[in-house]
Amino acid sequence: MEHTLFEHILVFVTDMAAVVTIDYGKRVYSIETMCKVSAYHDVVRLGNDNHPKFFEYNAIWDTGAVRTVISPKVVADLGLQPRGKVAMYHANGVSYVNTYFVNLLLPNKMEVQILQVMDGNLPDADILLGMDVIGLGDFAITAPQGKTLFSFSQPSQYAIDFKKE
């Protein structure tokens, strides 16, 4: 059974304003952070008791990806079972891939619960965070003195509009 994109996303924030900011100290060409992932668990309904173990992986934040992708290593480490198949569109065409439900713990202590993710081969990371996650908050990349500064906040703090005076 296929599910709609945002049907199962729940957000649980452990702090009132969950913010992560990373100053890379140089210009970078991809936004990478650590991210934790576990098998899915509904904290709101079930509480934190018996929450599956989180595993930490390197994640790439990709605004060009609609959905979040996990590597076969994540699938194996967590012992995930497929929940269906979806079409994954990419530069080489289309592939039909397995979907899974997971919980993500982002570096800002925000837990995204019961997130439907796809599996895929990721050469430079084990998680690719797509717009299904990025769109849950404020995402900003700036380049003061030519050095990359990344910031993500949930909930949204305010509108960022560089044209507005």
Contact 103, 114 (CB under 8 A): yes
The chain-wide mean pLDDT, for the chain, equals 86
pLDDT in tens, 3-58: 333 344 444 444 456 888 999 999 999 999 999 999 988 776 776 778 889 999 99
Residue (of 138, 134, 160) closest to 151 by Cα position? 138
pTM of the model: 0.86
Q: Which domains does the chain have, with CATH numbers?
A: 10-15+31-136 (2.40.70.10)
Looking at the predicted structure, is the pLDDT value of residue 165 above 80? Answer: no
Kind of pairing, strands 138-142 and 93-105?
Answer: unpaired
